[in-house]
Amino acid sequence: MFLFCGSIVINLLLRLRRGSGTGELTSMLLCYANMLMVCIYAGFLSTRPGNYALPATSIIVFIALLPLTIDDRPIRVYAVMIAETALYLIASRLYKSSDAFSLDLLNAVTFCTVGTLLYAVICTRNVREINQGLRMEKLQQHVISSLATVVEERDEGTGGHISRTVEYVRALTERMMRQERYSSLPDSFYKNVILAAPMHDVGKIRIPDAILNKPDKLTEEEYAIMKTHSVYGAEIITKTQKDVEDGEYYVIADNIAKYHHERYDGTGYPDGLKGSDIPLEARIMALADVYDALVSERVYKRPMQKDAAIKIISEGRGTQFDPELVPLFLECLEATP
């Protein structure tokens, strides 16, 4: 009874841990603990005197639970099923009569068949869910790409800005993933930051062409209108992306669009956020956006040399940009021609 209850508890823990997104190592250890408990119990049942028909109501429960526990490890599922069945049959052959062993052999075949069929059902379900998830993700990416393309086509001076900033963001997040400081962030965070990066200027679609493509310096009134693109961007994302299945992506995209012009010292816009109050994804986007703006040609300016742009980024450490991210971003720039 102790072993039976222990196996059930382990399965419940594993389900909860998977639901909370904890690491694969923990899940694997729970799987192995459950396997060991099942095998011990299978052997224990076989050595009990007079348990002629007992396995029919016991082992099948555990073999049915195993695929539910480790449905993403086919080799492990079948290896454990075979090992468990072999252990049970060996013990049965040593401790039981020929008639009892024959019944156990029949039971074992039945148990393995049921477990295999159950596992096949689970695999089919998972494949269907994965395919559906991939289709939704492709559709989501298509919507993002379409919105970003419309904005870039309207802004005559920023050709290629979206694709370049995405690559800067990708390079920076790859370095962040190797830093202990950011080790607690899930992989999905980095994936969604890269996916949402093209949306950072989507609010410019609501800025008049006369301001967006003005070849001269903007007046104070025009600049005030231009700054509203960050708020407009968040509003557009709310209308177009809020109902997507991935809630984390929506939050990250919203933060990037709205806050990528905030400054670390609190003098940015639209809300004057300061330091760590600025979402990390927006601080990442700010570096990529500003650097590309510096080294790119615009209708109102010539491109800046790379060394000069790097100097501006370095001088902005702790004032305009996150002081922890600047060194990592500079490493990215040094690795590019």
Give the pLDDT of residue 231. 94
Q: Is the dihedral of CA 250, 254, 260, 262 positive or negative?
A: negative
Nearest to 241 by CA among 199, 283, 303: 199
* Site of tokens 């969604």: 192
Task: With a cut of 90, say whether residue 70 has pLDDT above it.
Answer: no
pLDDT confidence band for 288 (50 / 70 / 90): very high
Kindly tell me if the per-residue pLDDT of 309 is higher than 80: yes
Q: How many CB atoms lie within 10 A of CB 104?
A: 27
Q: Is 311 a catalytic residue?
A: no
Higher-scoring residue by pLDDT: 22, 290: 290
Region of poorest pLDDT, from 233-242, 255-264, 267-276, 299-308: 233-242
> Residue 222 pLDDT > 50, yes or no?
yes
Segment 4-29 shows an average pLDDT of: 52
Q: Domain-by-domain residue ranges, the chain?
A: 2-129, 155-334
Name, in order, each residue with C-beta under 8 angstroms of 253's C-beta and a sequence gap of 6 or more: 192, 195, 196, 199, 237, 241
pLDDT of residue 20: 45
Percent of the chain surpassing pLDDT 70? 58
The domain covering 155-334 belongs, at the CATH homologous superfamily level, to Hypothetical protein af1432 (1.10.3210.10)
Q: Is the pLDDT of residue 64 over 90?
A: no
% of the chain at pLDDT higher than 90: 35
Of residues 173 and 74, more confidence is placed in: 173
How far is 144 from 151, CA to CA, in rounded Å? 11
Q: What's the pLDDT score for residue 57?
A: 41
For residue 56, the model assigns a pLDDT of 44
State the average pLDDT over residues 73-92.
Answer: 69
87-91, 127-131, 188-192, 261-265: which has the highest mean pLDDT?
A: 261-265
Taking a C-beta distance cutoff of 8 angstroms, is the pair 71, 119 a contact? yes
pLDDT confidence tier of residue 19, bands split at 50, 70 and 90: very low
Which tens digits make up the pLDDT trace of 117-141? 666 666 666 666 656 655 656 656 6
pLDDT score of 199:
86
User: How does residue 267 score in pLDDT terms, banded at 50, 70 and 90?
Assistant: very high
pLDDT attached to residue 102: 77
CB neighbourhood size of 110 (10 A):
14
Range 72-91 average pLDDT:
68
Supply the DSSP symbol for 220. H
Report the largest interatomic distance among the alpha carbons of the chain, rounded to a whole angstrom. Answer: 97
In the set 96, 138, 191, 204, the catalytic residue is 204
What CA–CA distance (Å, rounded) separates 135 from 130?
A: 9
Q: Say whether 82 sits in a helix, a strand or coil.
A: helix
| Model confidence, pTM | 0.61
Task: Give residue 285's pLDDT.
Answer: 97
Q: Which of 22-36, 191-205, 320-334 has the lowest mean pLDDT?
A: 22-36
pLDDT per residue as tens digits for the range 135-166? 656 656 666 666 666 666 655 555 578 889 99
| pLDDT > 80? residue 80 | no
What is the reported pLDDT for 21? 45
Burial tier of 268 (Cβ tally within 10 Å: 0-12, 13-18, 19+):
buried
pLDDT at 98 over 90: no
Q: What is the pLDDT of residue 60?
A: 46
In one-letter notation, the amino acid at residue 114 is V
Cis amide prior to 270 (ω within 30 degrees): yes
